[in-house]
Amino acid sequence: MAIRFTLNGKAQSVDVDPRMPLLWVLRDTLNLTGTKFGCGMALCGACTVHIEGEATRSCVTPVSDVAGKKVTTIEGLSADVSHPVQKAWIELDVPQCGYCQSGQIMSAAALLAKNPRPTQAEVDDAMSGNICRCGTYQRIRQAIQRAAQMQAASPRQATLEKKSKEPTEPVAITPDASAAVGLVLGGAQ
Amino acid sequence: MSSAMLEVDRREFLKGVASGATGLVIGFYLPHGSQARAAAAPDALPFAPNAWIRIGTDDTVTLVIDKSEMGQGVVTSLSMLIAEELECGWKKIRTVFAPAAKEYANPEFGMQGTGGSTSVKGMWTPLRKAGAQAREMLIAAASGKWGVDKGVCRAEDSHVINTQTKERLSYGSLAEAAGKLPAPGEVTLKEPKQFRIVGKAMKRLDAADKTCGRAEFGIDVRQPGMLHAVVARCPVIGGKVASFNADKAKAVRGVRHVVRISSGVAVVADNTWSAMQGRDALEIKWEEGPNASLTSAAIGKMLEEGASKPGAAVARKEGDVTAGLANAARKIEAVYQAPFLAHATMEPMNCVAHVHAGGCDVWAPTQFQTVNQMTAAKIAGLKPEQVNIHTTFLGGGFGRRAEQDFVIEAVEISQSMGAPVQVTWSREDDMQHDFYRPASYSRFEAGLDADGWPVAWSNRIACPSIMSRFFPGSVKNGLDDSSVEGAADLPYAIPNILVDYQLTETGIPVGFWRSVGHSQNAFFSECFLDELAAASGKDPYQFRRRLLQKAPRHLGVLDLAATKAGWGEALPAGHSRGIAILSSFGSYVAEVAEVSVDKKNGEVRVHRVVCAVDCGRTVNPLTIEAQMQSGIVFGLTAALKGAITINKGRVEQGNFDDYQQLRMNEMPKIEVHIVPSDQPSSGIGEPGTPPIAPAVCNAIFAATGKRIRQLPIRAEELV
């Protein structure tokens, strides 16, 4: 029997084993591969999505659990990489291999939606379910604070996710990798 | 890996694996994201002056990246090297990963692959030349159009400018004409003082794709008609399938086929989860093989006995260590041990293969394209040039993706199915069927003179060999250089030194793990040296300083790290500092760790790490900083938590609950300081890793008086 839910603002129906984890429905049935498989046991956070706005590990969430609910994946967080968390991630040059970053970003976005000015302890607490083997934690900490600033300056963007009208296809953009930044590196140059 | 060693061995390797000579493969390019995918195939673009540059009439500059991007930043740093000479607009750049082809062989080891922290070092000259060559051809095309001498033209921001008339022609408008011109032989490269990109903090070109889920990793590859597979492998390392019954597996919804392959039994299904369910339902009898009763305790004994056997291979001999020890005022001895470690890349092993009538396509997050191509060709009965390797982004590599096992499985299953197949490893598969960082045993004896300065250093190492499997020809007289790197190259001025090695196999497969032998040998050597400083009652920083007087680059990073860390200055109550230094992959790194140890439960907390790095000329300081942070977190995770243990031939760890990772709440503040240098650029992907374990352990000694001689650090031993 088909399971219906709202995926990135659009009605979605899938006819799969109801026990199938949402992660694999997204990745293999719907070919929405931005949400990653890391552990299958809710230990690493790579598969984090929002269900009704809550950061949730999709690898241990049977798809039947999301029937009638709103699911947002990294592809639906913004139409054009414009969510403050995404913008801050690019500004602070956070990703390395990038594999865990969808999950990191979804966890960070859920945190800031609830707690717009988190302390470092609150950030660490909210983000400690997300493993990064490249060790990008320091820049993630900085980027979350930067995103909080951006969100405070432009509160409309933070609520983009809640708007009903959301594109479902990623919009092509030119990666903006232009400016050399004045990050202070002691002893450099 | 030394390039000379690999060069010698490459020929044997090619002989062994290839079913024919490697040829030039005209492959398909795999663009990074949907945006690039929609663009014209780079090969069709009118201006393709060399293997790395493609320019279209729309001004788009497509750069071909021939190293694997596993987080270390090659998409950006290699683009910088080309753009510096090409004079193209940075925003006009898009990148694609190279197919497997001869012209993309890594100059550092003669095959196409990424490892040994060689990417920028090896490509420094070829890529700048490629950029200059293309720029000169574009200038020649413009001078032809204008009918003026080339000397009055210059290139800037993807345009050629007539310096007399101020007219400008875009690279896109010149692409057709430039494509018809011969490539210049010699080109003049910029002097470093003219650099406007190299040395600047350039942000990653792949950051946007990696923040919206668009970057395509191997596990994300989707092909028409693709099936999903998982493989049941013998839980005992080295074991085989005796027999199996697939009836229950085939009854699982979505399961299509069950097929025996060389590594086990593959379950092929409509989706990964169904394949996993099918695998759970398989009934398999295993032939457990020679490791069936192997334990970590037995392996520990093998290494200890190995270290005591006569006839060790000499890795370094200076002076007379026996006499030096006999004449010493004081003798210090210690035994150090390090465990097996898994790579645990965030993206588990996976691969897509399609064996078809015209050849074979392989989509893989891989570090070793040349061998992937030969391996797939051998299995599929093809010539290497009939195999197209499509390199995706790698969700971490750390050396694990230099292996072939995931490619072999995908090709074998696809061959059997006649369809594209993606094989995906679960986290447990990945953890329990790795090629592990070797467990290692290191015994030291040192002699101090009456003033407490070392006069003799003897170090016997026993561990399994990576190279005897990977590049057997490089192991000469029982010496695997990768087992003693970071030990045999001890930089300290000690008159009598003997470092030798007893190659000791354990039955557990071992492989390259970020920084390879340096990862354990830095811990051994830098902690034991700290023991000597303590025995002499000398400050560990000053002790190193005095012994490094003839090693200026070591001294440079040591002083910088100590100064920035405020060595010798007061610390918060309960905090202490430790220092360590190692040169690896041509770079020099010193780290000072500031730690505290909880008196009640022995828990170690690392508060701050100050890192100084000299990696020659800076290409991208943002990347250097990121890689030092990354290497430190990687090494710190291993020091605090990492151990793969064996029971009954099985790896006891399976997932991130029992093979734990450093998480954000344990992340120290890391400060990176770069030594300015005009020396050739050297490695940054790995050199940050080795010094952190000894820096932390030396800080623990300063706090508690307890020496950590076996990793990982165990809180219960610090109470």
pLDDT tens for each residue of chain A, 189 residues long: 799 999 999 999 999 999 999 999 999 999 999 999 999 999 999 999 999 999 999 999 999 999 999 999 999 999 999 999 999 999 999 999 999 999 999 999 999 999 999 999 999 999 999 999 999 999 999 999 999 999 999 875 444 444 434 433 333 332 332 222 223 233 332
Is B622 within 8 Å of A33 when comparing Cβ atoms? no
In this chain, the answer to whether the domains covering A3-76 and A79-162 adopt an identical fold is: no
Residue of A24, A97, A100 with shortest CB distance to B272: A24
Domain A3-76 matching CATH 3.10.20.30: the answer reads yes
| Mean pLDDT within B230-236 | 98
Tell me whether A182 touches chain B (CB under 8 Å): yes
Please enumerate in sequence order all residues whose Cβ is within 8 A of that of B526, keeping only pairs 6 or more positions apart, or say none: B580, B581, B582, B691, B694, B695, B698
- Cβ of B271 and A170 within 8 Å? no
Please tell me whether residue A26 adopts helix, strand or coil conformation.
Answer: helix
Shortest CA gap A18–chain B (Å): 12
Q: Which of B205, B213, B426 sits opposite A74 (nearest CB)?
A: B213
Q: Which residues of A touch B622 (CB under 8 A)?
A: 93, 181, 183
When pLDDT is cut at 50, 70 and 90, the band that residue B181 belongs to is: very high
Domains and CATH numbers, chain B: 35-194 (3.30.365.10), 218-289+349-424 (3.30.365.10), 297-340+436-718 (3.30.365.10)
Given a contact cutoff of 8 angstroms between Cβ atoms, the answer to whether B178 and B133 are in contact is no
Tell me the C-alpha distance between B7 and B497, whole Å.
29
- Decide if B219 and A182 are in contact by the 8 Å CB cutoff: no
pLDDT, tens digit, for every residue of A1-56?
Answer: 799 999 999 999 999 999 999 999 999 999 999 999 999 999 999 999 999 999 99
% of residues, chain B, pLDDT over 70: 94
Residue B32 pLDDT: 37
The domain spans of chain A are 3-76, 79-162
CA of A20, closest CA in chain B: separation in Å? 7
Cβ atoms of B351 and B364 within 8 Å: the answer is yes
Q: Are A143 and A83 in contact (CB under 8 A)?
A: no
> Containing H/E element for B359?
strand B359-364
Give the mean pLDDT of B696-702: 98
- Range 58-117 of A in CB contact (< 8 A) with B: 73-75, 77-78, 81, 86, 89-90, 93-102, 105
| Rounded CA separation B593/B608 (Å) | 6
3-state DSSP call for residue B79?
helix
A94 DSSP assignment: -
Q: For an interface test with B, give the residue of A23, A30, A49, A96 to mutate (most B CBs within 10 A).
A: A96
Given this model, what pLDDT does residue A154 score?
83
Question: Which of the residues B34, B68, B212 would you substitute to probe the A interface, choosing the one with the greatest number of A C-beta atoms within 10 Å?
Answer: B212
Quickly tell me which residue has 């040169």 as its tokens: B583
Any CB–CB contact under 8 A between A180 and chain B?
yes
At A156 the pLDDT is 57
CB of B224 within 8 Å of any CB in chain A? no
Domain A79-162 has CATH 1.10.150.120: yes
Contact A175 B208 (CB under 8 A): yes
Kindly state the percentage of chain B with pLDDT values over 90.
92
Among B211, B228, B634, the residue with its CB nearest the CB of A28 is: B228
What does the alpha-carbon distance between residue B428 and residue B263 come to, in Å, rounded to a whole number?
Answer: 15
The per-residue pLDDT for B224 is: 97
- Cβ–Cβ gap A131/B220 under 8 Å: no
Residue among B641, B638, B644 at smallest CA distance from B690? B638
Q: Among B74-83, B108-117, B247-256, B636-645, name the one with the lowest average pLDDT.
A: B108-117
Q: State which H helix or E strand residue A61 sits in.
A: none
- Check CB contact under 8 Å for A141 and B667: yes
pTM (2 decimals)? 0.93
Residue with tokens 């018809």: B180
**Residue B335 corresponds to which tokens in the numbers above?**
């035994």
CB B350 within 8 A of CB B365: yes
Q: Which of B369, B352, B431, B440 is nearest to B115 (CA)?
A: B369
Q: Which of B204, B253, B271 sits opposite A24 (nearest CB)?
A: B271
How far apart are alpha carbons B322 and A83 in whole angstroms?
67
CA nearest to B425, candidates B359, B343, B369: B343
pLDDT range class, residue B578, cuts 50, 70, 90: very high
Min distance B625 CA to chain A CA atoms (Å): 8
When pLDDT is averaged across residues B340-353 and rounded to a whole number, the result is: 98
A contacts of B274 (beta carbons < 8 Å): 17, 20
The pLDDT of B595-600, averaged and rounded, is 97
pLDDT at B43: 61
Residue window 28-57, chain A: list those with CB within 8 Å of chain B: 28-29, 31-41, 43-44, 46
Query: Helix, strand, or coil here: B364?
Result: strand
Q: pLDDT, tens digit, for every residue of B621-656?
A: 999 999 999 999 999 999 999 999 999 999 999 999
Cis peptide bond prior to B454, omega within 30° of 0: no
Rounded to an integer, the average pLDDT of B245-274 is 98
Binding-face residues of B in 31-50 toward A, CB within 8 A = 34-35, 38
Which pLDDT band, with edges at 50, 70 and 90, does B16 fall under? very low
Question: What HEC string does B536-562 produce?
Answer: HCCCHHHHHHHHCCCCHHHHHHHHHHH
Task: Say if the Cβ atoms of A44 and B346 lie within 8 Å.
Answer: yes
Q: CB burial class (10 A; 0-12, 13-18, 19+) of residue B605?
A: middle
Of the pLDDT bands very low, low, confident and very high (cuts 50, 70, 90), residue B41 is: low
pLDDT value of residue B42: 59
How many angstroms away from the CA of A119 is the closest CA of chain B? Answer: 13
Q: Is B649 helix (H, G, I), strand (E, B) or coil?
A: coil
Q: Note whether B201 contacts A: Cβ–Cβ < 8 A.
A: yes
The whole-number pLDDT of residue B426 equals: 98
Q: Is the CB of B633 inside 8 Å of chain A's CB atoms?
A: yes
Do residue A97 and residue B396 have CB atoms under 8 angstroms apart?
Answer: yes
Mutate to test the interface with A, among B664, B681, B686 (most CBs of A within 10 A): B664
Give the minimum alpha-carbon distance from A68 to chain B in angstroms, rounded to a whole number. 23
